[in-house]
Amino acid sequence: MIHTEVVVSTEDPISFKGDLLVCFVASGRKDSLDCDKRILQVVYEIQQLGDFSAKENECILLYPSQHPKLLNSSAKRVLVIGLGEGKKKRSEAELAELFRLAGGTISSYCEKYKVSDMMISAGPDLGFNQAQLAESLIEGVLLGDYRFSRFKKKDEKEKPYVGIEKILVSAVGWKVKSTALRRAVKKGAYTAVSANEARNMANEPGNHWTATHFAEYAKTMADELNLKCKTLNKAEMSKLGMGGILAVNQGSSEPPKLVVLEHNPKNSKKTILLIGKGLTFDSGGVSLKPAAGMQDMKYDMCGGAAVLGAMRAIAADKPRIRVVAIVPATDNMAGSAALKPGDIIKHYNGLTSEIVNTDAEGRLILADALAYGIEKYNPDCVVDVATLTGAVIIGLGHHYTGLLSNDDKLAGRLLEAGDRAGEPVWRLPLGKEYSKQIESKVADIKNAGGRPGGTSTAAAYLEHFVGETPWAHLDIAGTAWDFTEKTYIPKGPSGIMVRTLVQLVRDWR
Ligand code: BES
Ligand code: MN
Ligand code: ZN
């Protein structure tokens, strides 16, 4: 699955002969620089020229063949990356982000110069666990080294760049045992690959990524990673009374699926339930969306992709708690049998809902999945991830994922996990005022509450299906693609929340 080989090496960086050697420099008091002594002289001269001051992510590219005396390296190129002030007080999350961003910068140089093998040398001591720095760095490199070109014609003459083939992490100079370094680097790599897998699912267009693809993908993953997998088909959903998923699927010729993946270690004492919206294309249904930009609605399955991506890393982490992921999957089409405004449906938990807008479909499929998952797995908490509302983009732009929760402790855990993962999360309110907006005259609730507070009224709908279970809802409509520009976030789907969910499980006590 990892196309890049990542190896911890005992080789001295200076003797590395490959395409690119990466070194780090932090700035110290006055003019002093903190880096490998053997590149110090060259970097110092460039600093004296005024061309470099080791600011965060500031770079110089050197060609050792042009400085044979000064730079005794055998690499084709040396990339020097600034890390800012060496003595600056930074939180663990800030340092992790600094190194992920540096990793993303490395991958963009690799793309530009078609680098296939490189070596990364140790960074200066920033007063932090160096294994964690190496982990973040590799995570950033592999997140940045992502491309999706499956549907592009292969050029016979000019071979396209396929990405970094081999990364050597030199163990020389890291203030940490090489076994710890090896473990850290591996963890950074599979975490990034898990997010890249979520991006792959998202990049597949609606005609190549249906509910059935979700089910097949989960099955393959379960076989490969020793997880348990179960999927419910349309007939089983009918028997169980999952009126929400069935209603959304009514206008489609593609059958719906409810996909369950489970990591279930012996003697586990806690269960975390993850649920992801797997809407493989959202046309809006009879309440049809405008044509402009509708193609982006193939990304409406990014919540489902995020929970499956997270399960991949969780399967590798092997935590001692049970983690269950559920993806309700279907598209939302306007075929002749489609759901209509005014229709009343009945959810898995027995609640009836008046459909006032068929484009508010995400909450319909999540409602069944939440009620079913909570009843079946009796979790200690449930977190759902969904591209649920355009309103969250109006509120938070493309910079924060919206968080709504009935439990302050769980909300706090997610705020922290998101911060540590470089995927910022901002809490928005729930409350009876929003619940009132979705009261119906003819059914228990209605599926849309008007424009004001659209993200909160959508969450208020979901709240009806979680009972007393600690629950958090992550609205990723603004961050699943077009996420804040960062070196390690390529254009297109971001894979957002994969790493936050993984972090949440890693930090669970
Ligand atoms: N999938 C959309 C939300 C969305 C919009 C995600 C833009 C990403 C970008 C969702 O199913 C939807 O259509 N929501 C409606 C709800 C409304 C009809 C109450 C919305 O936000 O307009
Ligand atoms: Mn919709
Ligand atoms: Zn949708």
Is 298 labeled as catalytic in the residue annotation? no
Closest CA to ligand 1's atom 13 = 359
pLDDT the model gives residue 67: 84
Q: Whole domain around residue 473: which residue ranges?
A: 204-507
Calpha distance 246→347 (Å, rounded): 10
From the candidates 363, 413, 420, 499, give the one annotated as an active-site residue. Answer: 363
Is 289 labeled as catalytic in the residue annotation? yes
- 174, 195, 216 - which closes a domain: 195
Q: Which of 58, 61, 59 is nearest to 71 (CA)?
A: 61
- What CATH number is associated with residue 21? 3.40.220.10
The count of domains in the chain is 2
Q: Are residues 180 and 246 in the same domain?
A: no
Q: Are residues 279 and 182 in the same domain?
A: no
pLDDT the model gives residue 179: 94
Q: Are residues 324 and 432 in the same domain?
A: yes
Task: For the chain, list residues with pLDDT below 50.
Answer: none
Residue 219: both structure tokens together:
């099955």
Cite the DSSP H helix spans in 154-301.
178-203, 211-225, 234-240, 243-249
Distance 422 CA to ligand 3 centre (A): 25
Q: Are residues 388 and 484 in the same domain?
A: yes
Q: Are residues 280 and 385 in the same domain?
A: yes
Q: Are residues 181 and 208 in the same domain?
A: no
Q: Are residues 127 and 244 in the same domain?
A: no
pLDDT the model gives residue 141: 98
pLDDT the model gives residue 2: 60
Q: Are residues 164 and 273 in the same domain?
A: no
- 149, 178, 195 - which closes a domain: 195
Q: Are residues 424 and 450 in the same domain?
A: yes
Q: Which atom of ligand 1 is nearest to the CA of 362?
A: 11
Residue that has been written with the tokens 């008007």 in this structure: 450
pLDDT the model gives residue 175: 83
- What CATH number is associated with residue 399? 3.40.630.10
pLDDT the model gives residue 68: 80
pLDDT the model gives residue 330: 99
- Is ligand 1 within 6 A of the CB of residue 361? yes
Q: Are residues 241 and 138 in the same domain?
A: no
Q: Are residues 211 and 144 in the same domain?
A: no
Calpha distance 293→248 (Å, rounded): 21
Closest CA to ligand 1's atom 16 = 360
pLDDT the model gives residue 1: 54
Distance 211 CA to ligand 3 centre (A): 14
Helices 130-144 and 178-203: crossing angle, nearest 10°?
Answer: 30
Q: Which of 324, 289, 276 is nearest to 505 (CA)?
A: 324
